[in-house]
């Protein structure tokens, strides 16, 4: 599912970045993919995906 439509980023891409690339918060995610840097509508959902991925580990 797409989380950030502005940048075409999916929940799977975010989860992988958290697991494999050391992304731990929105700031890292924005740096990596630009998530949240345009309309900002995705920020809450992206944060949830980060949190859920960290909890799953
Ligand atoms: Fe992510 Fe617009 S949907 S910045």
CA 3 to centroid of ligand 1, rounded, Å? 8
pLDDT tens digits for range 31-43: 999 999 999 999 9
pLDDT in tens, 19-35: 999 999 999 999 999 99
For ligand 1, residues with CB inside 6 Å are 4-7, 35-42
Output the pLDDT for position 57: 60
pLDDT tops 70 at residue 56: no
Q: Count of alpha carbons within 13 Å of 42, Cβ hemisphere only?
A: 25
Q: How many structural domains compose the chain?
A: 1
ipTM of the complex: 0.98
Q: Which atom of ligand 1 lies at the shortest distance from residue 9's CA?
A: 1
Whether residue 17 is predicted with pLDDT greater than 80 in this model: the reply is: yes
CA 9 to ligand 1 center in whole angstroms: 9
- CATH number of the domain at 21, please: 1.10.10.1100
Q: Classify the C-alpha dihedral 44-46-52-57 as positive or negative.
A: negative
Reference 9, options 51, 52, 26, 22; nearest CA is: 26
Long-range CB pairs of 21-24 (<8 Å, 24+ gap) are 23/50, 24/50, 24/54
Residue 16's domain comprises 2-56
């Amino acid at each position: 599912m797409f989380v950030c439509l502005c940048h075409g980023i999916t929940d799977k891409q975010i989860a992988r970045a958290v697991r494999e690339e050391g992304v731990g918060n929105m700031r890292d995610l924005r740096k990596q993919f630009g998530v949240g840097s345009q309309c900002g509508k995705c920020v809450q959902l992206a944060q949830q995906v980060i949190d859920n991925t960290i909890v799953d580990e």
